[in-house]
Amino acid sequence: MEIIVETDTPPIPELEVITDAPAPVVAKEGFTWEVLLPYLLIALTPFLYVINKATSLYIWIVLKWLTDPKIDLKAKCPACGHRQDHKLEYNPQYECIIHTCSRCFAEWGQAPVVSASRWKVVSVPDQKDETEL
């Protein structure tokens, strides 16, 4: 008994021999990226170093400026929410800065950036009164 298997695969074509092969690719001589890249890196290294240091310095300055503690001259009033320039005064009794709201005259305290024991300022209210005149 004979078994016949039918398939849809096409017959395998015969290989052709190519006699006119293209010419091999020859690398260009002279100014190519393989030649220029090391010299370019050597020439640009100082500039890249300076740019890197400048970028680091800029980021450090921005972070220092953002995280630097400071007294906000336009602090939000806790009573009325008004946010505008207002009166600041150091109170030696409480050793804190007293904000006075310009709208509702509410007062609230804030610790100074540098503690009062480290900067010894003598209060001179009499001299202040003379300058206002």
Contact set with Zn ion (CB under 5 A): 77, 79-80, 82, 101, 103-104, 106
Query: Considering the complex, what minimum distance in angstroms separates the CB of residue 75 from Zn ion?
Result: 10
CB nearer Zn ion, residue 53 or residue 103: 103
CB nearer Zn ion, residue 96 or residue 116: 96
**CB of 87 within 8 A of CB of 106?**
no
Query: Considering the complex, what minimum distance in angstroms separates the CB of residue 48 from Zn ion?
Result: 53
Query: Considering the complex, what minimum distance in angstroms separates the CB of residue 57 from Zn ion?
Result: 40
CB nearer Zn ion, residue 100 or residue 116: 100
Phi and psi at residue 97, to the nearest 5°: -95, 130
Nearest to residue 124, comparing CAs of 87, 95, 92, 83? Answer: 92
CB nearer Zn ion, residue 53 or residue 87: 87
* 18 secondary structure, DSSP code: P
Query: Considering the complex, what minimum distance in angstroms separates the CB of residue 69 from Zn ion?
Result: 23
Phi and psi at residue 110, to the nearest 5°: -145, 135
Please give the angle made by the CA atoms of 74, 77 and 78, to the nearest 5 degrees.
145
